[in-house]
Structure 1
Amino acid sequence: MNVTMNGSVRWKSYYWVYITRGLIGKQVAAEELGNGIWRVFYRNVFLGYFNEKDIRSKEKTTRLSTNLV
């Protein structure tokens, strides 16, 4: 996934997840953990988690979190 000019990535063609403006133009990767929880990486650096269910219920940009609780 490419980080756009606003620091976000497009998730499933409709939703947005804010990553950081420091990675504009870079590629990040997401790995599914299960139950809609995804881990996001830049190269081998772990950036954070996001919950796919939160994105769908809010229908707006969601930020990464560093913990699941």
Structure 2
Amino acid sequence: MQTPASVHEFSTRPFPERISNFDYDSELKVLKVSRNGSVRWGSYNWVYVSASLQGKYIGALEMGNGIWRVFYRNVFLGYFNENELRTKEQSVRLETNLV
């Protein structure tokens, strides 16, 4: 029947004030996510990634045939097809499956 403050123990693990920058592999194309959650692809096209990644850097890895895998640090986010960007008939978002 003790109070929580009397039994609480502080952690000895250091907590950084700022998270260090992540270095992507040289084979990945590094892009900055804009304020609306998209990345600019080429001169005129945009790919929506996520609004929660505003101001962060993501990495894109080409798989072939215009298909790119997108990562945030070591986390796989999804795919997008750069060939669909040219049609401009639909907005392009990341997809988790290619089928």
Interval of TM-score (by shorter of Structure 1 and Structure 2)? over 0.9
SS at match of 1:58: coil
Q: In structure 1, what residue type is equivalent to 2:39?
A: V
Measured on the aligned residues, the alpha-carbon RMSD in Å equals 1.2
Deviations along 1:14-68, one digit per CA (max 9) or x if unpaired, are 1000000000000001000000000000001000000001111126641000000
The residue that corresponds to 2:42 in the other structure is 12
Partner of 2:18: none
- Aligned to 2:86, which of 48, 51, 56? 56
- Percent identity of equivalent pairs: 65
**How many pairs does the alignment contain?**
69
The TM-score with structure 2 as length reference comes to 0.66
**TM-score normalised according to structure 1 size:** 0.94
Q: Which is greater in Rg?
A: 2
Gaps of 5+ in 2: 1-30
Greater per-residue strand proportion = 1
